[in-house]
Amino acid sequence: MQLRRIGKYIGSFMLIILLVSFKGTDTNEKEKHIKVALRMIGDEFLLQVGDSTSRILPIEKHQQRYLIQFENELGFEPDLLSIAAIKIVEETKALHNFILETEKCSTNEVVHSFEISSKKDESMIPCKARPLPKDCYKVYVTIIEEGVSPVLDQKNLAATNFSFVYIIVIGLLLIGVIWYQKMRKNRASINTDWIQIGEYQFDKKGMNLFYKEKSEELSSKEASLLDLLYVNLNQTVSREHILQVVWGDEGDYLGRTLDVFISKLRKKLDADSNLKIVNIRGIGYRMVLN
């Protein structure tokens, strides 16, 4: 039953992990669509400037920005880049809100930038800029989720990562607690029948006493007497109490028999010098473990 419960909790935890993983898969698919759309913007831009042979280099992602790079140097009117971007956005619907920044490769200086919004009246395209001379240019694209700034996107990403780690930690702790409780119950059930007394192991149920590789059988009275003395370890147990618990107080004859049983137990426990059964004169007996 305990194993079934543990399996159930582990299954639930793994389901959570799978759901988060699927979410990560969706994110990867979205990344692919974005990169395809950005390549299309780059191709359309080259066509706008009259270049039908140059190659678009693979789209790269640097932190929160995507990079469009061209194979050859080129000179162009900046407006042509915004025209190409708007055309691809309207055709594919893959991109909504984003910022394009054109930088010189040699200085990383931003020479032109504009923002495209899914709401046309919110797009920010600068006035007609001067033509840029032939040079090496790279275009950075920052995707803006609708109604959220790039700074907030980074915070949300950090929060998502933290939540994922938090789920894993809580799941592992839950499994650990359940497993620990199961082990405690198992040990408790084992310790009910097996007791460590000094260097001996006492099997109450089987009425056996084990020392290293040797074992010795006990009678039922010997086992009951040993258990009673151990329960009251280092405490004096009166003769009357012993007779009541072990023999049911059947008279003086059993009182003398008690001394005989104590003697038998002493012999069976004499291999451990730290374990003694001491006679408390006029009172009873005490098991002492140093």
pLDDT of residue 22: 47
Residues 149, 129: contact at Cβ < 8 Å?
A: no
State percent of the chain over pLDDT 90.
29
Q: pTM of the full predicted structure?
A: 0.42
Q: Supply φ then ψ for residue 78, to 5 degrees.
A: -55, -30
In this prediction, residues 225-235 reach a mean pLDDT of 93
Per domain, the residue ranges of the chain are: 2-154, 195-289
* CATH class of the domain comprising 195-289: mainly alpha
Give exposure, 196-234, as e/b (b: 16+ Cβ within 10 Å). Answer: ebbebebbbeebebbbeeeeeebeebbbbbbbbbbebee
Report how far apart, in Å, the C-alpha atoms of 12 and of each of 1, 16, 116, 272, 285 are: 17, 6, 43, 51, 56
Q: How do residues 155-176 score in pLDDT, each as one tens digit? A: 555 555 666 677 787 878 778 7
Separation CA 138–CA 17 (nearest Å): 39
pLDDT band at 97 (very low <50, low <70, confident <90, very high): confident
Report how far apart, in Å, the C-alpha atoms of 216 and of each of 195, 200, 210, 221, 226 are: 15, 11, 6, 14, 13
pLDDT band at 212 (very low <50, low <70, confident <90, very high): confident
